[in-house]
Amino acid sequence: MSTPEQLGRQLQQVALGDREAFKQLYLATSDKLFSVSLHILRRNDWAEEALQDAFIKVWHSASDYSTQRGSVMSWLISMVRYRSIDMLRNKGNQTLGSDALPDIPASEADHLDIKLSASENSEQLKKCLDELQPSTRQSIQLAFIYGLSHHEVSAYLSEALGTVKSWIRRGLDSLKGCLQR
Amino acid sequence: MNYQTTERQHQLAARYVLGSMRGQARHKFQRLLMEQPKLRDEVTFWELHLNELAAQLPEQQAPKSTWLTIETRLGWRRGQSSNPLEKKAGNGWRWLTGALAALLVLVMLNQTLLTPTPVPEADRIAVIQNSEARTLWLLEQREQLLEVAAVGAIEPLTNEDYELWMLPASGAAPISLGLLPQQGRRSLNVPANVDLQTIAALAVSREPLGGSPLDVPSGPVLFTTDFITVSGS
Domain coordinates of chain B in residue numbers? Answer: 6-55, 121-229
Given a cut of 70, whether residue B99 has pLDDT beyond it is: no
Enumerate the residues of chain A whose CB falls inside 8 A of the CB of residue B56: 114-117, 122
Which of A69, A47, A3 shows the shortest CA–CA distance to A146? A47
Count of pairs with CB atoms under 8 A, one residue in A, one in B? 142
pLDDT category of residue B81 using cuts at 50, 70 and 90: very low
A35 membership: H or E segment, kind and range: helix A19-41
Given a cut of 90, whether residue B84 has pLDDT beyond it is: no
Residue A73 Cα, gap to closest chain B Cα (Å): 8
**pLDDT at residue A166 in the model:** 95
% residues pLDDT > 90 (chain A):
56
Q: Does domain A106-179 have CATH number 1.10.10.10?
A: yes
What is the CATH code for B121-229? 2.60.40
Enumerate the residues of chain A whose CB falls inside 8 A of the CB of residue B69: 48, 52
Enumerate the residues of chain A whose CB falls inside 8 A of the CB of residue B19: 40, 81, 85, 143-144, 147
Of residues B100 and B61, which shows the higher confidence score? B61
User: Could you count the other beta carbons within 10 Å of the beta carbon of residue A113?
Assistant: 13
Q: B139 - beta bridge partners? A: B126, B148
Q: Which long-range contacts (CB under 8 A, 24 or more apart) does A147-155 make?
A: A147/A39, A147/A40, A147/A41, A147/A81, A147/A84, A147/A85, A147/A88, A147/B19, A148/A102, A149/B20, A149/B22, A150/B20, A151/A98, A151/A99, A152/A101, A152/A102, A155/A99, A155/A101
Given a cut of 70, whether residue A24 has pLDDT beyond it is: yes
Tell me the average pLDDT across A33-41: 94
Residue B149, φ and ψ in degrees, nearest 5: -125, 125
Residue A73 forms contact with B (CB below 8 Å): yes
Q: A4-95 with A106-179: one CATH topology?
A: no
Collect all residues with Cβ–Cβ distance below 8 Å to A24 and sequence separation of at least 6. A2, A10
**pLDDT at residue A157 in the model:** 87
B14 membership: H or E segment, kind and range: helix B6-18
**pLDDT at residue A81 in the model:** 97
**pLDDT at residue B218 in the model:** 85
Quick check: A47 and A84 in contact, CB under 8 A? yes
ipTM: 0.87
Q: Give the E-state strand segments of A12-55 in sequence order.
A: none
Q: Which CATH number fits domain A4-95: 2.30.30.100, 1.10.1740.10, 3.60.15.10, 3.40.50.720?
A: 1.10.1740.10
Tell me the average pLDDT across A28-34: 96
- In tens, the pLDDT along B47-80 reads 999 999 999 888 999 998 899 999 998 888 754 4
Tell me the average pLDDT across B183-195: 83
Mean pLDDT taken over chain A: 85
Of B51, B58, B86, Cβ closest to residue A78:
B51
- In tens, the pLDDT along B103-147 reads 555 555 444 444 333 444 567 788 888 877 777 888 888 888 888
